[in-house]
């Protein structure tokens, strides 16, 4: 189980990082920027291969990656490690800073944009192959479970039938939902039927807003699904991604303003969700990958140093000033921002590890 969780985590995170960095890479190449290194992971080198001009590598810490462009950030070597590229041999016109502000902005924005595109494609594939639910059952049978939610943590699986909530018999999904919603932040005993086996488990409905209902992260089983053609599936995938993007932006705003509460998942939390999703089935794992891809895109657009949004903010200042910000100063700001992000990740990871014991 632990090996499966680790493997699912590496696959999901690897896909998200590759997609994001490939967005930067392909657009940088298209506008003529010299890309020194394209790496999956951070830290010590595990594998590398030298292309015509770009070094492709895999590094030991699967918590990110980078697309190192010549002339991008003077402090990059402190973050990524030195390369064997002699920058004096690179033509001036192929440096990142030599491109127009709009070309640089497109390169920076390409990572998050690629995350959104891939999420839409994943949703589209699900809709085309597995179909779109056209009718949901009112029986108290779980159809899907949100990885990382209270139901997943309680060990529930898709297909489980809920027989009772705190001893109160439930015969419909409406009755089940009513009981769960009224017991926010309380330990609830569920009697569950899984095949021929009947067992009990404890779950605590999560209250995401101070006045909100209790939720455990489940949806009812679909009674019918309709497969749709490719173009329709892709359109629905775009709509799903757009609605999810808006919901994440609103949720992030409410989180920052204190209207929304809940734990913030770090590497350990994401690994647990990936493991749970893999256990629930391919559809759940694909859905989680798409959701995390949109999350990664949105978070990277935040105007914080070292993130793509921070770089776009500096480019916006350049447009307003009609001259670039000093590269050394901007690079130092991004380096400090990167260090703060690493400290935040370490803090969240430490807190998650401690909570396991």
Specify whether the backbone of 159 is left (phi greater than 0), alpha (psi in -120 to 50) or beta: left
**Closest by CA position to 125, among listed 204, 230, 208, 209:** 230
21 is catalytic: yes
Nearest to 32 by CA among 79, 118, 94: 94
In the set 21, 36, 37, 352, the catalytic residue is 21
Among candidate residues 106, 108, 110, 34, the one with its CA nearest the CA of residue 71: 34
193: phi then psi, degrees, rounded to nearest 5: -110, 125
Q: Report helix, strand or coil for 199.
A: strand
CA–CA separation, 39 vs 30, rounded Å? 19
Contact 72, 257 (CB under 8 A): no
Task: Identify whether the C-beta of residue 169 lies closer than 8 Å to the C-beta of residue 183.
Answer: no
Q: State how far the Cα of 288 lies from the Cα of 12, in Å rounded to an integer.
A: 9
CA 347, 349, 354, 355 torsion-angle sign: positive
Q: For the range 232-239, what are the long-range contacts, defined as Cβ-Cβ under 8 Å and sequence gap of 24 or more?
A: 232/127, 233/124, 233/125, 233/127, 233/128, 234/120, 234/121, 234/124, 235/124, 236/123, 236/124, 236/127, 236/132, 237/119, 237/120, 237/121, 237/122, 237/123, 237/124, 237/125, 237/126, 237/127, 238/120, 238/124
- The span from the CA of 265 to the CA of 299, in Å, is 13
Count the Cβ atoms, other than its own, within 10 Å of residue 285: 21
Active site residues: 21
């Amino acid at each position: 189980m632990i090996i499966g969780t680790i493997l699912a985590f590496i696959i999901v995170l690897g896909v998200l990082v590759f997609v994001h960095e490939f967005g930067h890479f392909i657009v940088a190449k298209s506008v003529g920027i010299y890309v020194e290194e394209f790496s999956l992971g951070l830290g010590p080198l595990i594998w590398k291969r030298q292309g015509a001009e770009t070094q492709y590598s895999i590094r030991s810490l699967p918590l990110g990656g980078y697309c190192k462009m010549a002339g991008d950030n003077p402090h990059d070597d402190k973050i990524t490690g030195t390369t064997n590229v002699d920058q004096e041999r690179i033509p001036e016109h192929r440096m990142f800073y030599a491109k127009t502000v709009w070309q640089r902005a497109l390169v920076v924005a390409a990572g998050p944009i690629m995350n959104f595109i891939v999420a839409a494609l994943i949703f589209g594939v699900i809709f085309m192959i597995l179909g779109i639910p056209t009718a949901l059952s009112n029986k108290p049978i779980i159809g899907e479970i949100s990885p990382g939610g209270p139901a997943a943590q309680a060990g529930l699986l898709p297909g489980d039938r809920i027989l009772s909530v705190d001893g109160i018999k439930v015969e419909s999904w409406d009755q089940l939902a009513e009981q769960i919603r009224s017991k926010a932040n309380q330990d609830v005993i569920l009697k569950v039927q899984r095949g021929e086996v009947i067992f009990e488990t404890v779950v605590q409905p999560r209250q995401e807003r101070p006045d909100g209902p209790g939720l455990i992260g489940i949806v009812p089983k679909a009674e019918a699904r309709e497969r749709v053609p490719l173009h329709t599936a892709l359109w629905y995938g775009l709509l799903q991604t757009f609605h999810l993007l808006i919901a994440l932006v609103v949720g992030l705003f409410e989180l920052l303003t204190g209207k929304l509460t809940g734990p913030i998942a770090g590497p350990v939390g994401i690994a647990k969700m990936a493991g749970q999703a893999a256990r629930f089935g391919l559809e759940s794992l694909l859905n989680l990958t798409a959701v995390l891809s949109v999350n990664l895109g949105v978070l990277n657009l935040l105007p914080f140093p070292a993130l793509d949004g921070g770089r776009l903010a500096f480019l916006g200042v350049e447009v307003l000033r009609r001259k670039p910000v000093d590269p050394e100063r901007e690079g130092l700001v991004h380096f400090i921002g990167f260090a703060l992000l690493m400290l935040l990740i370490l803090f969240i990871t430490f807190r998650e590890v401690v909570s396991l014991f």
